[in-house]
Amino acid sequence: MTIVCLNLTAQGAGSALALPGEDVYLLPQDEVDARAYGAKIDLLAEQGMLNCIWILKACMLLLYNRLT
């Protein structure tokens, strides 16, 4: 899941972040839509990474439980 989201971001989904000095009110609607889509993909990627970390922590706890 995380890899898919990161690949989508790299292929052009982009991010909702504005560059310093960029006037966001002058952006065309298709650029605004692309940035909104990119922000949603970034949110999914972040959640996927957090879920992966917590699943790995749970696996380590299970491993330590079996060792002791």
In angstroms, rounded to a whole number, what is the distance separating the alpha carbons of residues 55 and 1?
14
In a domain, 10, yes or no: yes
**Which of 5-14, 30-39, 41-50, 56-65 bottoms out in mean pLDDT, i.e. has the lowest?**
5-14
Beta-carbon count within 10 A of 9 CB = 18
Count of the separate structural domains present in the chain: 1
pLDDT at 50: 93
In a domain, 24, yes or no: no
Reported confidence tier of residue 30, pLDDT bands at 50, 70, 90 = confident
pLDDT at 57: 97
Q: Annotate 29-65 with b (16+ C-beta within 10 A) or e (fewer).
A: eeeeebbebbeebbebbeebeeeeeeeeeeeeeeeee
Q: Locate all alpha helices (DSSP H) within 1-68, ordered by sequence.
A: 2-8, 29-67
In a domain, 62, yes or no: yes
Domain span at 59: 2-14+29-67
Q: Is the pTM of this model over 0.75?
A: no
In a domain, 40, yes or no: yes
